[in-house]
């Protein structure tokens, strides 16, 4: 399967980061389905029977208190964790291995090598997705307002820079589904807004985004739906953040 | 899978670059092995003949202990920033990671052996009475036996709470047949009293079996929660 965007040239505009020029063919079709998903860690139930569908080409913002099960849900969707019970279907496949190429994942930790530079990190991760295009790595770094020629190791970056590079790693292979866990933590407001613009542009081109954040107000204009989780369950879904908070 | 050699090479190159910058593995191993040589030389004062009898054991025990240091370090850097998860969510074959780590460890331990062997020769006044060239296959096969199991069991123990203790507990018992073969082969070559061929063949078979088993099981180990 050809990698979307693997052969594209340098770009300076974040809205051009996603290089698939064709409009999404199957917008508003369920791309992720969860049926009675339960996840237990010993006696602790992190997810308590989640049944939900997420449509393609939409940006979902998952909110909730600490311990609500948000990260567990994202790790299951990324294939890093297996549900104790229930069924997870992504892109019509129940085998997470089959869809790895189509899923991008950004965790709370950076998932980057501190001793390598930004370009060295992305060059390595690109090869894991069989992308041998250095220009693609450079353009993704550049689109997140980082300097691809900076030789400084990532360990010496500020937390905000590391978060942006972590997002660059997650979108490097132009995935159809993007799972982001706290992408704006320790990011300054200007950079966070730029990241939101970039994510909105990706969504407009057909990428489905599930994003966990405690700064939901940043995404009020960009998100399609807010999903509220509590005690391992999805308790509310709303298009308006205020409505969600008011309930 | 066609991407296996490419990703193995990329991961190995990345590991060598990380080691070149941090020197975590080689410094720790070298310091440890040096201490072992010095302590052994103070503890024993053997004649040349006695040295030939015991050197095989001393050398391989020193290398085994030193390799444990390398094996722990090589996975520890994948735990920082949970960077291993980036590999786990990618479509890259799990065995590419295993092979890269095993080859990397092989290079690190071989480098250590190349540095430490002259010291052993000097400290214990060693001279092979048997066919000295056979030390080369013994060294290569013995080192691979240490690192292939070590890489596998270090990956298994990586997410346990006390992985520094867990690795020797898992690794040492399973390494006993290989260690026996390495020691016997080395002693046979140094003393010239017996042929080392049986032990070399045993090492080769051991490596074949454990490399195959590790490759078959590594994906399950990598993706275990």
Provide ipTM, 2 decimals: 0.88
Q: Between chains, do A115 and B82 touch, taking CB under 8 Å as contact?
A: no
Phi first, then psi: what are they for A38, rounded to 5°? Answer: -120, 135
Domain ranges of chain A: 30-246
Whether B90 contacts chain A with CB within 8 A: yes
- The tens digit of pLDDT for each residue in B39-50 reads 877 777 777 677
- From B131, B136, B155, B6, select the one nearest B79 (Cα to Cα): B155
Whether B20 contacts chain A with CB within 8 A: no
- The tens digit of pLDDT for each residue in B42-101 reads 777 777 677 777 888 888 988 998 898 888 888 888 998 999 999 999 999 999 999 999
Count of A-B CB contacts under 8 Å: 70
Residue A110 pLDDT greater than 90, yes or no: yes
**Portion 108-127 of A in contact with B at CB < 8 A:** 109-116, 120, 124-125, 127
Residue A209 makes CB contacts below 8 A (sequence gap 6+) with A58, A59, A60, A177, A178, A180, A199, A202, A203
Please give the pLDDT value at position B30. Answer: 87
Which residue does chain B place closest to A82, by CA atoms? B225
Q: What percent of chain B has pLDDT over 90?
A: 52
Q: Between chains, do A128 and B225 touch, taking CB under 8 Å as contact?
A: no
Sign of CA dihedral B160, B163, B165, B168: positive
Distance from CA of A104 to the nearest CA of B (A): 8
Residues of B in contact with A109 (CB under 8 A): 81-82
Which residues is A59 bridged to in the sheet?
A209
Class of residue B111 by CB neighbours under 10 A (exposed 0-12, middle 13-18, buried 19+): middle
Specify the CATH architecture of the domain A30-246: 3-Layer(aba) Sandwich (3.40)
Residues of A in contact with B80 (CB under 8 A): 114
- HSE-CB of A162 using CA atoms within 13 angstroms: 22
Please give the pLDDT value at position A26. Answer: 56
Please give the pLDDT value at position A1. Answer: 36
Whether A103 contacts chain B with CB within 8 A: yes
Residue B216 pLDDT greater than 50, yes or no: yes
Residue A90 makes CB contacts below 8 A (sequence gap 6+) with A31, A32, A77, A96, A99, A102, A103, A177
Distance from CA of B34 to the nearest CA of A (A): 27
Please give the pLDDT value at position B1. Answer: 46
């Amino acid at each position: 399967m050809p990698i979307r965007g693997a052969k594209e040239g340098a770009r300076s505009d974040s809205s051009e980061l996603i290089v698939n020029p064709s409009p999404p063919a199957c917008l508003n079709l369920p791309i992720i389905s969860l049926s009675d998903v339960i996840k237990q860690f010993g006696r602790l139930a992190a997810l308590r029977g989640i049944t939900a569908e997420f449509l393609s080409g939409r940006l979902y913002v998952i909110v909730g208190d600490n311990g609500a099960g948000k990260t567990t849900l994202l790790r299951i969707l990324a294939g890093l964790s297996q549900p104790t019970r229930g069924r997870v279907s992504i892109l019509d496949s129940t085998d997470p291995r089959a869809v790895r190429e189509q899923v991008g994942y950004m965790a709370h930790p950076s998932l980057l090598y501190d001793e390598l530079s930004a370009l060295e990190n992305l060059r390595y991760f690109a090869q894991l997705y069989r992308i041998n295009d250095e220009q693609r790595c450079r353009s993704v770094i550049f689109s997140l307002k980082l300097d691809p020629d900076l030789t400084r190791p990532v360990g010496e970056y500020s937390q905000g820079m590391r978060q942006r590079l972590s997002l660059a790693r997650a979108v490097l292979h132009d995935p159809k589904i993007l799972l982001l866990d706290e992408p704006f933590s320790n990011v300054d407001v200007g950079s966070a807004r730029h990241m939101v613009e970039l994510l909105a542009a990706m969504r407009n081109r057909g990428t489905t985004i599930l994003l966990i954040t405690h700064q939901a107000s940043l995404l009020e204009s960009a998100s399609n739906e807010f999903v509220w989780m509590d005690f391992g369950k999805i308790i509310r879904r709303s298009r308006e953040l205020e409505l969600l908070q008011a309930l | 899978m066609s991407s296996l050699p490419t990703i193995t090479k990329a991961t190995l190159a990345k590991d060598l670059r990380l080691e070149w910058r941090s020197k975590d593995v080689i410094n720790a191993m070298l310091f440890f092995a040096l201490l072992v040589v010095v302590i052994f030389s103070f503890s024993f004062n053997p004649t040349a003949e006695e040295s030939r009898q015991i050197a095989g054991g001393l050398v391989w025990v020193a290398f085994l202990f030193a390799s444990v240091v390398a094996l722990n370090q090589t996975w520890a850097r994948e735990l920082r920033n949970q960077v291993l998860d980036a590999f786990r969510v990618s479509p890259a074959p799990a065995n590419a990671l295993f092979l890269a780590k095993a080859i990397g460890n092989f290079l690190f331990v071989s480098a250590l052996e190349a540095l430490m062997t002259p010291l052993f020769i000097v400290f214990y006044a060693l001279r092979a009475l048997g066919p000295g060239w056979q030390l080369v296959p013994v060294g290569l096969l013995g080192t691979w036996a240490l690192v292939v199991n070590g890489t596998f069991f270090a990956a298994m123990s990586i997410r346990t709470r006390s992985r520094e203790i867990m690795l020797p507990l898992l690794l040492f018992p399973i390494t006993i047949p290989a260690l026996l073969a390495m020691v016997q082969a080395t002693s046979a070559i140094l003393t010239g009293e017996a042929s080392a061929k049986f032990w070399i063949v045993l090492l080769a078979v051991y490596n074949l079996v454990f490399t195959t088993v590790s490759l078959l099981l590594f994906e399950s180990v990598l993706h275990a929660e």
